[in-house]
């Protein structure tokens, strides 16, 4: 079936719809990942987004449940150049298109993803609509505009857990404030012999302290850090009480809680191949990222925060730490799940502080 992606600036990209989800709307972003499409589709930090995969062929190895970043699909739609017709892998449980059909996620293929990516890079992230009909183009453009504006609010409330849960056993207790965490983060702490208590995003500082944590982690998640003032306030109250570590959105929120500011990137950092430089040893690490906001460089003055890592691509801040307190954070995913990560030492450092 013929399908279309309509951007809020009025530009239309034609393709082929691979399922019966005839209308999907969200923020149009692109990922440069060559692999890990399963991780992207099920990552809560992609909530509300229509993801354009720049790699031309997607779906070669299908899906398996143990590779999920969360319980199910989180993206609103997927835009591809080509979806493979013959996936093959010894661990495959279901193919890409069948999984997306069951999850009611719109899939548009045979799109000129190179041109679409260039449009996003030139004009910035936009709202968009996947549809099978251009009969009312003005209405679709309005829907695309609304899709973009709707994502400027609190997105964390849609992906945070509803109840406190305990994972694993260990001689150290980590309280994880779940803003939309990937399950690999929890598994990573369990492998380091830590008990993890995951709590909802709106859990107050006093409630967290009653859980008697040895350390506190602020997880990754979707959206603008300034849109979750209740999390910022909790972090303000917790700073200095216990060792704290932030990941992704949690990295930005910790910075805001300690007096820094954030700013929006034009088209964000999304992919599994983003190089960052460790300022301690000048070594380059290849990282997985998905974020549209960064810490504002000028806002660090007077905060006692120092930069520990920077993006090689645009020199933006990728890691910070407090000069006196046991508080640090990184913008990327350090857990390396479900594979190896050479930045897992950040988790080791945090655990050693507990």
Same domain, 178 and 256: yes
Same domain, 170 and 70: no
Split at pLDDT 50, 70, 90, the class of 338 is very low
Same domain, 169 and 308: yes
- The C-alpha atoms of residue 41 and residue 333 are separated, in whole angstroms, by 16
The answer to whether residue 213 scores a pLDDT higher than 70 is yes
The pLDDT, as a whole number, for residue 342 is 78
Give whole-number Cα distances, 341 to 31, 89, 160, 245, in Å. Answer: 19, 22, 25, 18
Report residue 105 CA to chain centroid gap: 18
Range of the domain at 312: 156-353
Split at pLDDT 50, 70, 90, the class of 339 is very low
pTM value is 0.93
For residue 350, give the DSSP letter: H
Same domain, 36 and 136: yes
> 232 — phi, psi (to 5°)?
-60, -45
Split at pLDDT 50, 70, 90, the class of 336 is low
Same domain, 182 and 262: yes
* 3-state DSSP assignment of residue 352: helix
Give the residue from 150, 178, 196 where a domain finishes: 150
- The C-alpha atoms of residue 30 and residue 120 are separated, in whole angstroms, by 8
Are 319 and 307 contacting, i.e. CB atoms less than 8 angstroms apart? yes
Kindly report the length of the chain. Answer: 354
The answer to whether residue 21 scores a pLDDT higher than 70 is no
CATH number at residue 24: 3.50.30.20
Split at pLDDT 50, 70, 90, the class of 68 is confident
Same domain, 285 and 247: yes
The answer to whether residue 149 scores a pLDDT higher than 90 is no
Question: Which is more confident, 345 or 247?
Answer: 247
The pLDDT, as a whole number, for residue 66 is 79
């Amino acid at each position: 079936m013929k399908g279309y992606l309509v951007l809020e600036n009025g530009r239309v990209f034609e393709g082929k719809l691979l399922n019966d989800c005839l209308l999907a709307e969200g923020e149009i972003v692109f990922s440069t990942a060559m692999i890990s499409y399963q991780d992207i589709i099920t990552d809560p930090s992609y909530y509300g987004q229509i993801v354009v995969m720049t790699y031309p062929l997607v779906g070669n190895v299908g899906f398996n449940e143990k590779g999920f970043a969360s319980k199910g699909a989180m993206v609103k739609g997927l835009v591809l150049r080509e979806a493979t017709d013959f996936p093959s892998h010894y661990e495959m449980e279901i193919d890409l298109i069948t999984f997306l059909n069951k999850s009611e996620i719109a899939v548009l293929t045979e799109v000129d993803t190179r041109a679409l990516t260039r449009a996003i890079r030139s004009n910035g992230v936009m709202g968009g609509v996947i549809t099978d009909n251009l009969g009312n183009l003005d209405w679709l453009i309005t829907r695309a505009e609304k899709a973009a504006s709707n994502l400027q609010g609190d997105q964390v409330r849609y992906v945070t857990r509803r109840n406190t849960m305990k994972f694993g056993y260990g001689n150290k207790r980590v309280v994880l404030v779940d803003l939309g965490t990937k399950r690999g983060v929890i598994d990573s702490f369990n492998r380091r012999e830590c008990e993890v208590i995951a709590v909802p995003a709106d859990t107050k500082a006093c409630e967290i302290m009653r859980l008697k944590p040895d350390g506190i982690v602020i997880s990754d998640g979707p959206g603008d850090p300034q849109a979750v003032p209740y999390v910022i306030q909790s972090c303000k109250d917790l700073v200095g009480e216990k060792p704290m570590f932030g990941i992704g959105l949690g990295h930005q929120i910790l910075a805001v809680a300690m007096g820094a500011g954030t700013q929006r990137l034009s088209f964000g950092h999304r992919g599994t191949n983003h190089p960052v430089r460790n300022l301690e040893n000048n070594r380059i690490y290849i990282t997985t990222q998905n974020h549209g906001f960064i810490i504002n460089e000028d806002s660090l003055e007077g905060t006692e925060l120092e930069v520990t890592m920077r993006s090689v691509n645009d020199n933006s801040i990728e890691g910070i730490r407090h000069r006196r307190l046991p508080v640090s954070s990184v913008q990327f995913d350090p857990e390396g799940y479900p594979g190896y990560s050479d930045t897992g030492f950040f988790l080791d450092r945090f655990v050693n502080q507990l």
